Structure 1
Amino acid sequence: MPARETCLAAVDSRDARFDGAFVTGVTSTGIYCRPSCPARTPSAANCTFHPSAAAAQAAGFRACKRCRPDAAPGSAEWEPRADVTARVVRLIADGVVDRDGVAGLARRVGYSPRQLERLTLAELGATPIGLARAQRAHTARLLLQTTDLAMADVAFAAGFGSIRSFNATLVAAYAATPSGLRDAGGPSEAGASGTGAVGGRLLRLDVRLPVRPPFCATHLFGHLVATGVPGVEEWRGGAYRRTLRLPHGPGIAALTPRPDHVAATLHLSDPRDLTPAIGRCRRMLDLDADPVAVDALLARDPVLAPLVAADPGCRVPRSADPDELALRVVLGQQVSTAAARTAAGRLVARLGEPIADPEGGLTHVFPTADAVAGASAEDYRAPASRRLTLIRLAAALASGSLDLGPGADRDEARAGLAALPGIGPWTVEMVAMRSLGDPDAFPATDLGVRRAAAGQGLPDGRALTARAERWRPWRAYATVHLWSTLDHAINRLPADPEEDA
């Protein structure tokens, strides 16, 4: 939590940079708000500050209907951090409590449920179940206001165990019944959508993904499209589209960059996957980063300063599926971007799960690690040593001996990767950067980084690594800025195939 004086100043100036860092509880109204809420500034004496929406709800406050604090960008604190609390926050955002309960969450991080409760209460002002309940309330509101699903289906999809708890939680969170929320219409972060169904065809939902400004989308979306796997990813209608492997079935996400948000159209096999789908898209696009803090530090370096000024708010292109990205990094060892796409596309065509795309040309979900572990020479034509590396990595991921998911211990994951034959420093750093979300990962041996560094008059080898010490803890973002200087497809949005036709 920022100091009280900082919080008061942020509320007084309606500073959107602090949205997600804390919420303001107003004792005179019983409402909690974002720091940037446009409503009249409350008296300082009536302000209490809470580290999360869940903490404010636990203290008896309900969400402001004007600024929708439950829909603010996620706290920028949790993605960079690697400690247990940060891992817990990422796992809850992925829906682990809804699927496995608090006991399952505790097992993931090696704590007892009671230890975990004490930890989250101390740092977040709420228990794991309180955090999950606040998330369920937000998911339920989105489903109520963007679909015509029956109330019982909404409650089930949002993760509630009973209609009674569904009703009680929404009344406590929003001072409105489920039917009242539906009658109120779509909130600022959601748009009208198709109706879909719980079973059979895909359910469509249109959602706004809030983003903390500034936001430079060109390099982010350019990278994702230029390295996209045929059949799994495409650029169509001004949107980056990709298939998703979700807990209850396959899905599709279409993500369109806007100046202050990302417009997301989600096609889901099961509405219970709305929460993990949103969370995975946010992580892939690095939407919960703190660009002001990143840019301020990197701009101190005279070499990076003009790059930061030219492209403020760069994000690190990550992945919606950490295992998939790790396998693709191995597929890309010592080959060009085009060759890596071709190899991955061939693997997908042979081993991927087919999917029907209602609005585009996507054909498959990327194969599971278990499927890749059993790949033959026909499935993946490459030098024997690289094929063996791929299969070893896939086997480690499939067995669970290597965890790259949102709750992974980054140090353990790095050590596990490095222990596999055929996995060198470049692969470890690229996986750390894009699968594990380590903001300080630095692939110093990457050919693009070396070329970009030379073009900026920076040294090579160990001297570059030493120079990069001044960029900590944001070396992954420095990498993106270096890549941005190259004449490469990752740095521009492609022409739309529909427009070319």
Structure 2
Amino acid sequence: MTAPVTRLWRSEREIALRAQLGAFRRGGGDPTSRFGREGSATRAVQTPQGVGTLHLVCRPGDAEVHAQAWGPGGPWLLESVPALLGDDDDASGFVPHHDLVADAWRRFPHWRVPRSGLVFDALAPAVIEQKVTGHEAFAGYRALVLRFGEVAPGPFPGLMAPPTAAGWAAIPSWAWLQASVDGARSRTVVRAAGYAGRLEEGAHVSVAEAHRRLRALPGIGIWTCAEVAQRALGDPDSVSFGDYHVAKDIGWALTGAPVDDDGLAELLEPYRGHRYRVQQLLGMAGHHRPRRGPRMAPRTHLPTRTR
């Protein structure tokens, strides 16, 4: 194992790594991401320079981040640290219009929208999460990464990097089904992998143009674009329209009753430019409607044997 490349970066605001990077973790068993009790965060990704592992340490309440990176993508990851931790996000025009939003902003005044700059890294798991429960999606993503991903460089046993775009495209159809990912979603990932270079350019154009390129591909709609923009592009306005929970939860928090996407658009219109900021702040503050009833059972997409 080669020695890591390192960087010390100091922000002008407090950095809480778990809050700042929590959106990148795809469930508690995500093999590409982990948080340590000592105030650390570790991610394994595919960068434009190759596979890399980024390990960040920041003591609670501090603004000094110690970064180490391994692998061919290590230098690229070190360069991305400020944007990943929200340094590009400008919250100066954000004005809360609801008491709960104001309270969440007081609780998380240092949180900023992250920007990884890695479009396909955000796109593949977002497609896997389309129209299924989080439990099912996270399990499928975990199974595929463990089977077809790459051992992460660095001293982190069990940490895996996701497949490259070419690696996603090479996964056989039956392996997708074994991971409970149906043909519609697997075809979308495979199709997008063929345009990965063009999609990655979306990190260097306007958010509107990045959305246009994503939505030009069959199987990618407004929800998936928002999931990508929130993580890869650092867009504070890409709210998750089409999500099973988001509109209901925000409606319940701000009005006392769940709303649909039209109602959500009306509620968030005063926040235009910062609508995702509101979504994330309310989520981090724990404002979710009460959920009752049994959990939806995971589906299987494997063919059954006939007797």
Instruction: Say yes or no: TM over 0.5.
Output: yes
**Residues 301/216 of structure 1: CA separation in 2 closer, same or farther (3 Å cut):** farther
Residue 44 of structure 2 aligns to a residue in which SS? strand
Offset from partner CA, 1:375-409 (integer Å, 9 cap, x none) = 21233222211111121122221xx3433553134
2:307 matches 1:307: no
Partner of 2:304: none
Offset from partner CA, 1:295-321 (integer Å, 9 cap, x none) = xx2324444112212221222355463
CA contact 1:286–1:318 (8 Å) conserved in 2: yes
Partner of 2:113: 316
1: CA distance, partners of 2:159 / 2:62: 31
Residue 463 (structure 1) aligned to one of 238, 245, 263 = 263
CA contact 1:216–1:312 (8 Å) conserved in 2: no
1:202 deviates by 2.3
Residue 390 (structure 1) aligned to one of 189, 194, 198 = 189
Offset from partner CA, 1:88-129 (integer Å, 9 cap, x none) = xxxxxxxxxxxxxxxxxxxxxxxxxxxxxxxxxxxxxxxxxx
Alignment-mate amino acid for residue 474 of structure 1: H
Residue 166 (structure 2) aligned to one of 370, 373, 386 = 370
1:226 deviates by 5.7
Partner of 2:276: 476
Structure with more helix by fraction: 1
Residue 288 (structure 1) aligned to one of 76, 80, 88 = 88
2: CA distance, partners of 1:362 / 1:237: 17
Q: Which moved more, 1:470-479 or 1:297-306?
A: 297-306
2:150 matches 1:350: no
1:325 deviates by 0.9
2:77 matches 1:277: yes
Partner of 1:267: 69
CA contact 1:284–1:318 (8 Å) conserved in 2: yes
1:323 deviates by 1.1
2: CA distance, partners of 1:329 / 1:308: 27
1:392-471 equivalences in 2 (<5 Å):
392-397=191-196, 400-458=197-255, 459-471=259-271
Alignment-mate amino acid for residue 231 of structure 1: P
CA contact 1:348–1:365 (8 Å) conserved in 2: yes
2: CA distance, partners of 1:366 / 1:228: 16
Partner of 1:106: none
Fraction of identical pairs, as percent: 24
**Residues 469/427 of structure 1: CA separation in 2 closer, same or farther (3 Å cut):** same
1:216 deviates by 5.1
1:287 deviates by 3.1
1:413 deviates by 2.0
2:53 matches 1:252: yes
**Residues 373/229 of structure 1: CA separation in 2 closer, same or farther (3 Å cut):** farther
Which structure 1 residue ranges, 4+ long, deviate > 6 Å from structure 2?
A: none
CA contact 2:239–2:275 (8 Å) conserved in 1: yes
2:19 matches 1:236: no
> How many pairs does the alignment contain?
280
1:444 deviates by 2.8
1:50-449 equivalences in 2 (<5 Å):
201-213=1-13, 215=15, 217-225=17-25, 227=27, 230-238=30-38, 239-258=40-59, 259-269=61-71, 273-274=74-75, 276-291=76-91, 293=92, 297-319=94-116, 321-358=118-155, 360-381=156-177, 382-397=181-196, 400-449=197-246
CA contact 2:211–2:225 (8 Å) conserved in 1: yes
Offset from partner CA, 1:421-470 (integer Å, 9 cap, x none) = 22222112111222222222111332342232133134432132122121
Offset from partner CA, 1:263-313 (integer Å, 9 cap, x none) = 33313335x953x2123233332233344x15xx23244441122122212
1: CA distance, partners of 2:286 / 2:12: 26
Partner of 2:300: none
CA contact 1:282–1:288 (8 Å) conserved in 2: yes
Alignment-mate amino acid for residue 378 of structure 1: W
2: CA distance, partners of 1:227 / 1:262: 27
Larger-gyration structure (1/2) = 1
Instruction: Please give the TM-score of this superposition, normalised by the length of structure 1.
Output: 0.50
Offset from partner CA, 1:354-392 (integer Å, 9 cap, x none) = 33432x224432111122122212332222111111211
Structure 2 stretches lacking a partner, 5+ long: 289-307
CA contact 1:330–1:390 (8 Å) conserved in 2: yes
Root-mean-square deviation over aligned CA pairs: 2.8
Offset from partner CA, 1:64-95 (integer Å, 9 cap, x none) = xxxxxxxxxxxxxxxxxxxxxxxxxxxxxxxx
Instruction: Please give the TM-score of this superposition, normalised by the length of structure 2.
Output: 0.79
Q: Which moved more, 1:382-391 or 1:207-216?
A: 207-216
Q: Which moved more, 1:447-456 or 1:215-224?
A: 215-224
**Residues 256/273 of structure 1: CA separation in 2 closer, same or farther (3 Å cut):** closer
Give the number of the structure with larger relative contact order, counting CA–CA contacts within 8 Å between residues 6 or more apart. 2
**Residues 312/472 of structure 1: CA separation in 2 closer, same or farther (3 Å cut):** same
CA contact 1:354–1:364 (8 Å) conserved in 2: yes
CA contact 2:192–2:217 (8 Å) conserved in 1: yes
Alignment-mate amino acid for residue 242 of structure 2: T
**Residues 267/434 of structure 1: CA separation in 2 closer, same or farther (3 Å cut):** closer
Partner of 1:498: none
CA contact 1:212–1:289 (8 Å) conserved in 2: no
